[in-house]
Amino acid sequence: MHSLTRSRQKTLKPLFLLLALLGLGCYPLLSLSQNVSDALARALDAYVNRTPLAEPLKSLSRSSAIEIQDLIVMNLAPDYGLVSGYLREPLRQYAALGVLLENMFTSTGATLQAAAKADQRVFLSWAVRIRKAGLSESSGPAEITSAIAELIPAVVLQDVLINASDQDNWSAITALNAGVRYVVLGAPVAFSAHSAIPGLRAELLGRSGQQLAVGDGVSSETTDVALLIHNMVVALSTRGRSVREGELLVLGPVGQAVALTQPGRVTANFRIGAEERRIVFAIRP
């Protein structure tokens, strides 16, 4: 197994100020209100140091939450790399989007570093790789499914960074980039260009072989993969963004997310029709 810890435990340099002043960021820091500046400092510290927020992020508008998320992603870029995809995080009213950087992705056989101060949660998911750019709000199911290059089993690990009172707070979850830390990918499976994919099942097993989670379908919300992708495309469009060729879209939980309370080996089994895939990884303290 290989380790992804490398330089992630060191404190990241605050490069977002330089990037913003050079015009490389979406939002110049000098325009941030005191409330947003304070929230940015707290969210950045929580994400980088993997430490839960002691107090909730209060009175953040949706636009301010996206500003904070963008600036955090800019700051992570030297260690985590470029934007390579997005994660759909379903909430009670609106789904949030987590931004996925290239070094957040790993493959089966990985050893992952647990957070010393935060709880981790894990969920099963399916991801799609987009073969071509150009999807928009007006794209229909046929255009969307034809843009899918492959369907990939995935396990997502998140740090629980939000304050307990922010559990369903879209702005807080967005500002903290949904706490996403790792996405473990399995071997892709052949994709048939249909909006609904039959025969999908996923199961998560703990280190003693006990079942931690199980689910059916492409997500716990719907069997319609085109609908999930369309919703993500629309959400990105409101930010002035689009899905680029080669990016991965992680479609959200299959079954329940579960807390990982102990280090050790974790196994995920996936089935699509007659094909099976397995992801194995380890969590170390």
Q: What is the pLDDT of residue 17?
A: 44
Cα gap 232→61, rounded to integer Å:
20
- Cα dihedral: 275, 189, 253, 273 (round 10): -30
Least confident of 31-45, 103-117, 167-181: 31-45
Find residue 194's DSSP bridge partners. Answer: none
Beta-bridge partners for 120 = 159, 260
pLDDT value for 35: 81
Percentage of residues of the chain with pLDDT beyond 90:
67
The mean predicted confidence, pLDDT, of the chain is 86
Which pLDDT score is estimated for 20?
40
3 pLDDT more than 60 = no
For residue 77, the model assigns a pLDDT of 93
Instruction: Check pLDDT > 50 for residue 6.
Output: no
- pLDDT number for residue 161: 96
Give CA–CA dist 70/174, Å, rounded: 10
3-class DSSP state of 248: strand
Instruction: Give the residue-averaged pLDDT of 256-282.
Output: 91
pLDDT at position 31 is: 62
CA 125 to CA 257: how far, in whole Å? Answer: 10
User: What is the model's pTM?
Assistant: 0.87
The span from the CA of 12 to the CA of 16, in Å, is 11
